[in-house]
Structures are given as C-alpha cells and as structure tokens.
Chain A
Amino acid sequence: MHRVAVVVFPGSNCDADTLDAARAAGSDAYYVWHRDTSLRQADIVVLPGGFSYGDYLRSGAIARFSPIMAAVTAHARAGGPLLGICNGFQILCEAGLLPGGLMRNARLRFLSRPVRVRVEATDTPFTCLYEKGETLEIPIAHGDGRFVADPRTTAELEATGRVVWRYVDDNPNGSTNGIAGVCSAGRNVVGIMPHPERRCAPALGSPDGARVFQSMEARNATQHAPDVRAVGEHHLRV
C-alpha cells in the first residue's frame, strides 16, 4: 500500500474524487493542505483538478508558489512519482516541473464532456497497467487546456516518447499535436488534462480512468526511480 498525498489548494474541486479513486485502487491516500510544508512520507503526490486561486493571472500561476510546492518539487527532483490532473497539470507547467504551458481553448469555450484519448506511453508510474495504443473515454472540464510548447520542445517530447496521452478523433482544445498529457524527462512527473478520477468505476460511466490509480499501486510503478520516501523535507531511498 502506497502513501498518496492529494494536495488541496484553495479552489481545488476534484480533490475528493481523486482521494476516492486512489483509495479505491488500494492506496493509503490523504489530503495535504497547500500551506503545509510536509508531504508526510508520501510515496506518490497528486495535484488534483479545480481552479486554484480562481485561475487569477494564469491557471496555476499563483498555486505554484504555495508553501507545499517546495516539498512537491523536492519529491519530484528525487524521482518521486507526481501526477497533475487538469489544474494540477497547469500548476506543474507553471512550476517548470513539466515542459510547455496550457492556454485558452482554441474555440474559447469552457469544455465539459467526454473525449477519447490514446495511451501513448506506458512506462510511467501512472500508465503502467495500460496497453500502449489503447483508447480510453475520459471527460475533460477545462477552459485553459490547449497544450503548447515551442517546436524544439515538442519535437523532443515526440522523439523521446514523452507524450503520454493524445486526443483521438477530435482535438477539443487545439493542443499541439493533439497532446492531452506529457511526462518529464525522468518520466516520474506526469500531467494530464482529462480527468481519470471521474471515470474510475462502471457506475461513473466507465472504469477507463481507474488504472491511472491502480498503476500507482502496482509494485513496479516507479520504473525509472527507486522507491523514494519523503521524510520531513529530506528524501530517503529505501
């Protein structure tokens, strides 16, 4: 059983769903308030969706300076698995823990509907239980979901297999190359715009998103990093 910290910012609104999804997958999941400075020995950290700080200035721009982010950054730098969903993805881009940025949807409308995404990379802590090329139906709910990066960064992401999910059939927000999710060079930091926590049981429409959380719980989830535990502000490899 892994310890999963779900960070709650003022304006997070997918924190409870994310906690439930992680618990349903068997994790010992708990909340960490953004003003805390310790992740309390988290194995895995998730930044949930929502509208931290009302999306003022830019989505995620203010949350990235929350006190907890020093510990989140240390966790990621030590190779610890870190997932950002929707607003969490925006925060990770603003914090420089993931490349690129997320801009206003190309058609300017807030979009809340299911979309189809293809799993492009299964060698991350959050997709290891999926089949490469598998297509999932997961909802989006965002106004600023258009992933952009400069051409060199985009080419590097594509060449190194760091596009983790891609929209298929229809690109809802006009993102570069249909990118719906990416990972860091170390592959331990992952961001996704759609909401897997909203499709993690048949009663919620489909279980397509459940394996994101089950992957976290899988023993070999951290393929590119040894098991890392945050102890206080320090990281011990165990």
Chain B
Amino acid sequence: MPRATLLDPQGQAVEHALKALGFAEVERVRVGKHLVLDVEAATDAEAAARARAMCDRLLANPVTEDFDVAVRTA
C-alpha cells in the first residue's frame, strides 16, 4: 500500500470514479497490491514472521509503501 503521507494518484482516480457513480460517502481510496503466498509453516505465527521478513526484504519498499500481513490456515 502506498504510504499514507504520499500522493496516490491511482487511489484519487478510483475515488473520483466512485463519486461519479453516486458513492458520495467515499472519503478516501488508496490502491495497493495484494499478494497471496502459499507458505509451509508449523504455526500461524511462524508463517506471519516469515511473510514479514519477505516484505522487509523484497515485497515492500519501506520508503514508499506500508504493509500488513494476514495469515489464513489452509
């Protein structure tokens, strides 16, 4: 997700389109990426820790992006 303090032109474009369709309640839209990873791990906590390490290393750029990790057991 682009960092909250940075201009997100994609989010603005989507926000304008939603408002044009009558969704006046929309206050802000931000557009980011959603990556789905299948990970082998003993526990949810371990899977989350590994995913966070992947975000720190490659998947997110801390200068321009924030990230959240959610784990779902298969």
In the complex, A31→B10 CA distance in Å?
A: 37
Once the chains bind, are A103 and B58 in contact (CB under 8 Å)?
Answer: no
Q: Which of A108, A146, A149 contacts B63 (CB 8 A)?
A: A149
Mark each residue of chain A from 131 to 151: 1 if its CB lies under 8 Å from any CB of chain B, else 0. 000000000000000101110
Q: Which of A62, A93, A94, A174 contacts B7 (CB 8 A)?
A: A174
Once the chains bind, are B61 and A58 in contact (CB under 8 Å)?
Answer: yes
Within 8 A of A (CB), among B1-33: 2, 5-7, 9-10, 13, 33
In the complex, A108→B17 CA distance in Å?
A: 15
* Across-interface contacts of A74 in B (CB, < 8 A): none
Interface of A is mostly: loop
In the complex, A146→B10 CA distance in Å?
A: 13
* Across-interface contacts of A148 in B (CB, < 8 A): 6, 63-64
Mark each residue of chain A from 64 to 102: 1 if its CB lies under 8 Å from any CB of chain B, else 0. 010000000000000000000000000001100001110
Q: Is there a chain A Cβ closer than 8 Å to B41's Cβ?
A: no
Q: Which of A57, A93, A104 contacts B9 (CB 8 A)?
A: A104
Q: Which of B10, B58, B64 contacts A108 (CB 8 A)?
A: B10
Q: Is there a chain A Cβ closer than 8 Å to B59's Cβ?
A: yes
Number of interface residues of A (CB under 8 A): 21
Q: Is there a chain B Cβ closer than 8 Å to A13's Cβ?
A: no
Q: Is there a chain B Cβ closer than 8 Å to A107's Cβ?
A: yes
Contact A103 to B64, CB < 8 A, known contacts A57-B58, A57-B59, A61-B58: yes
List 5 tightest A-B contacts by C-beta distance, closest first.
A101-B63, A101-B64, A108-B9, A106-B9, A103-B64
Interface set of A (CB-CB < 8 Å, partner B): 57-58, 61-62, 65, 93-94, 99-101, 103-108, 146, 148-150, 174
Interface set of B (CB-CB < 8 Å, partner A): 2, 5-7, 9-10, 13, 33, 58-59, 61, 63-64
Q: List 15 A-B contacts (CB under 8 A).
A: A57-B58, A58-B61, A62-B58, A65-B58, A93-B63, A103-B2, A103-B7, A103-B64, A104-B10, A148-B6, A148-B63, A148-B64, A150-B5, A174-B7, A174-B9
